[in-house]
Amino acid sequence: MNAVPYGSLSRRERQIMEFLYRKRGASVAEILKGIPDPPSYSAVRTTVNILERKGHLRHVRKGKKYLYSPVTSRGKAVQGVLRHLLSTYFDNSLEQAVAALVKLHGKELSEEDIRNLERMIRKHRE
């Protein structure tokens, strides 16, 4: 089953996924305690079940509880979010996305940051 793109998850779904990436798995009760401004237990349980149906989570039974963990690595999820961001906001233009990031954080870039970025670009051209 192909997972629904990570970038298209709701705010609460992303919040739960981020918690599970940090913890590398948890029960619904642990998720409830670990996320800010949590909804009810049943709402978290429902959301976890939705994430599992969407292909983002799997579970194992441990005693009386289920432990949920991400199916894909955080790195792959980040790539999916970036693809979604590029297609949704930048017409798949890497140049536009980088220009927006530079405009937002350009003054914070050190000379070393710029050299590292240039090095990465050269490396990927080869």
Domain locations along the chain:
6-70, 99-126
Q: What is the pLDDT of residue 5?
A: 63
Amino acid identity of residue 15, one-letter, is Q
1 vs 28, more confident: 28
Record the tokens describing residue 15, joined without a space.
């919040």
Mean pLDDT along residues 48-56 = 94
Task: Provide CATH code, domain 6-70.
Answer: 1.10.10.10
Contact (Cβ atoms closer than 8 angstroms) between residue 27 and residue 60: no
Q: What is the pLDDT of residue 6?
A: 64
Asked whether the predicted pLDDT for residue 106 surpasses 90, the reply is: no
pTM for the structure as a whole = 0.72
Rounded CA gap, 40 and 83, in Å? 32
Contact (Cβ atoms closer than 8 angstroms) between residue 16 and residue 36: no
Q: What is the pLDDT of residue 83?
A: 87
38 CB neighbour count, 10 Å cutoff: 15
For 21-36, write each residue's pLDDT tens digit.
999 889 999 999 999 9
What is the residue-averaged pLDDT of the chain? 90
Q: What is the pLDDT of residue 16?
A: 96
